[in-house]
Amino acid sequence: MTELSHLAAVRESYDTVAATYVTHVKGPAQLDPVSRAMLAAFIELVRRADLGPVADLGCGPGKVTAYLAESGLPTFGVDLSPKMIESARHAYPSLRFDVGSMTALDLPDDELGGILAFFSTHHTPPEQLPVVFSEFHRTLAPGGRLMLGGHIGDDEHLRPTRAYGGHPVSYESYFLPLDRIAEVLGQAGLIVTARLRQEPGDGAKRPHAYLLARKPE
């Protein structure tokens, strides 16, 4: 897929599933204890640094954005799908949600104290991950924190045709090894400070991982 076609496929697919997605995806309170602990660690690191707002990139219907805001962090959400943003604004009218792409964020350099990318980068073709991670680096303030969570695998490439209640989708998914993701983050100038792999279980069908990173000061 080219960059434009992959973004169009993701946007169209999530617009299609937006109405049912919210009922199929867990909120933070329903996550397993390890996942909640990683979110708590990220929140504490961002709070201590106190460098600026947090962007929840690929925020979907805003459940995790609201969780971060309830923890006391100034937080806003960004998603490629206008229908997802519409759902988030309806559910959490006091919070800010913007339509946008993490490949080209409409944000100044060094603006953010934190970035959360929570299961939102696996539709990005591997060759375009450096673009996304460079945007993370550009928009984070020096010392700012990143948490990336997502599915991992051995260079698996999936092309599902239906998802979230049987709706048609055209996006593709790329499940990369954890070490490869950490390597690309490092090449983008971000320092990986922690990584955690979780095997299938507790309702998860696939292995997934969390990485914490920071922008050098």
- Domains (range + CATH), the chain: 3-214 (3.40.50.150)
Confidence of residue 172 (pLDDT cuts 50, 70, 90): very high
Cβ-in-10-Å burial (0-12, 13-18, 19+) of 50 comes to exposed
Confidence of residue 177 (pLDDT cuts 50, 70, 90): very high
33-86 pLDDT tens trace? 999 999 999 999 999 999 999 999 999 999 999 999 999 999 999 999 999 999
Confidence of residue 203 (pLDDT cuts 50, 70, 90): low
145-158 pLDDT tens trace? 999 999 999 999 99
Q: What is the mean pLDDT of the chain?
A: 94
The predicted structure's pLDDT at residue 3? 56
Distance CA(164)–CA(79), nearest Å, equals 18
Distance CA(82)–CA(103), nearest Å, equals 16
Tell me the DSSP string of 104-150.
Answer: S-SS-TT-EEEEEEES-STTS-GGGHHHHHHHHHHHEEEEEEEEEEE
Distance CA(57)–CA(148), nearest Å, equals 10
